[in-house]
Amino acid sequence: MSGRVEGKVAFITGAARGQGRSHAVRLAQEGADIIAVDVCKPVSGTDLIPASTPDDLAETADLVKGLGRRIVTTEVDVRDFGALKAAVDSGVEELGRLDIVVANAGIGNGGETLDKTSEEDWQTMLDINLGGVWKAAKAGVPHLKAAGGGSIVLTSSVGGLKAYPNTGHYVAAKHGVVGLMRAFAVELGEHSIRVNSVHPTNVNTPMFMNEGTMKLFRPDLEKPTKEDFEPVAKFMHVLPIGWVEPVDISNAVLYLASDESRYVTGVTLPVDGGSLLK
């Protein structure tokens, strides 16, 4: 076999569904074993997005096993460093090594302008979408050093490179991920550990395809449908699309995780249909 990440082990957060599941499957298709974590329950009183479940995480595990790869799953909240570290440590004990960290878990909550955002929504957002990304990478670093190098991919967003209204706390957290990525990159380069961020536009996952998010696009409508918001979503892009599929982000993650990008570090890689040009 000659998979693009053959023999490597990847630790992925937020792997129960959406992009995290897709990353697990895509990396497994190319020969990696997976350490997968997800909280699998609601994390905030004002979630815009229905929560994932233990069954979702089990489905990710089945998909990876169906490809003939090994996977270790744990229900963990990325805000809990001790639990994250325990999950990674025992995953490495079972699978033998760690080469790749994909800090992907994230939420959308609130949906207000910044002057109306509650302190609770702000704090939960920063704790998960920035603090949780730091903690996931931090938990992986000792194992990457032990392996003699590796690749860390942090999931930001187009909202980490430009601003949108009604989700300023998300924009602030995702811009923070860029700072985190750059700081990790300069600190870890001497250990041959590369650190980059991916910046998806709208992705066809439960985070995007739900009523709360659709309402951010169409605040003028009481109950917007997919058909109502598709033209607005299309307007955001240069290419004639309203969103991309999870595998489009996974292919970028795969490149950054593989040795094909061996001298690429400190990069902000958009997968955005040209939305940053608008």
Among 157, 167, 196, 258, binds ligand NAD (CB under 6 A): 157
Among 30, 33, 38, 248, binds ligand NAD (CB under 6 A): 38
Closest by Cα among 176, 182, 184 to 150: 184
Task: Return the number of the residue (40 or 252) whose C-beta is nearest ligand NAD.
Answer: 40
Q: How many residues bind ligand NAD (CB under 6 A)?
A: 32
Nearby residues of 199 by Cβ (< 8 Å), 6 or more positions away: 156, 157, 158, 160, 161, 268, 269, 270, 271, 272, 276
Task: Return the number of the residue (9 or 49) whose C-beta is nearest ligand NAD.
Answer: 49
46 by Cβ neighbours in 10 Å (0-12 / 13-18 / 19+) ranks as: middle
Closest by Cα among 118, 268, 241 to 232: 241
Q: How far apart are CA 266 and CA 162, in angstroms?
A: 18
- Where in the sequence numbering do the catalytic residues fall? 170
Counting contacts by CB under 6 A, is residue 229 touching ligand NAD? Answer: no
Task: Return the number of the residue (9 or 216) whose C-beta is nearest ligand NAD.
Answer: 216
The contact pattern for ligand NAD, residues 81-120, with x = CB under 6 A and - = no contact, is -----------------------xxxx-------------
Tokens representing residue 105 in the block? 């878990």
81 by Cβ neighbours in 10 Å (0-12 / 13-18 / 19+) ranks as: middle
Task: Return the number of the residue (147 or 197) whose C-beta is nearest ligand NAD.
Answer: 197
Q: How far apart are CA 175 and CA 160, in angstroms?
A: 4
Counting contacts by CB under 6 A, is residue 16 touching ligand NAD? Answer: yes
Kindly identify the residues of this chain, within the stretch 59-78, that bind ligand NAD according to CB under 6 A: 77-78
Counting contacts by CB under 6 A, is residue 216 touching ligand NAD? Answer: no
CB of 244 to ligand NAD, least distance (A): 8
Binding residues vs ligand NAD (CB under 6 A): 13-14, 16-20, 38-40, 43, 49, 51-52, 77-79, 104-107, 128, 132, 155, 157, 200, 202-203, 205-208
